[in-house]
Amino acid sequence: MNSAIASNSSQGTQFELHLADGTVQRVEGADAFQQEQSMTTFFCSNAGRQTVDCWSVRVASFRTDGILWIRRIEAVAAEVRHLKPA
């Protein structure tokens, strides 16, 4: 089962979490994450920094013991060009 949690950020960065129960969660708009006691929390920074500071906003939290692995997915900023027939 896949589901997504989104913030108001337009950065386009996503984190994909694979959980011990077999589900996959996506957190959209977070720039960074860190462990806070028994939880792993994802944060959004207006500057798009990959660090957590006093200005960061919490986007989502998951129990750390339930996370198998986390993958960061960067937004693709490249323009898509289609080939024209000759």
| Residues 27-45 pLDDT 10s | 998 989 999 999 999 999 8
pTM over the 0.95 mark: no
Mean pLDDT of 38-60: 86
Give the mean pLDDT of 48-73: 90
Sign of CA dihedral 35, 41, 44, 45: negative
How high does pLDDT run on average in the chain? 83
User: Do 7 and 59 meet the contact criterion of CB atoms below 8 Å apart?
Assistant: yes
Tell me: pLDDT of 1 over 80. Answer: no
Q: What is the pLDDT of residue 7?
A: 47
Query: 3 by DSSP, 3-state: which?
Result: strand
- The predicted structure's pLDDT at residue 26: 96
Domains of the chain are 2-73 (2.30.30)
What is the pLDDT, as a whole number, of residue 25? 97
Task: Say whether 37 sits in a helix, a strand or coil.
Answer: coil
Distances (CA, A) of 83 to 10, 50, 86: 29, 36, 9
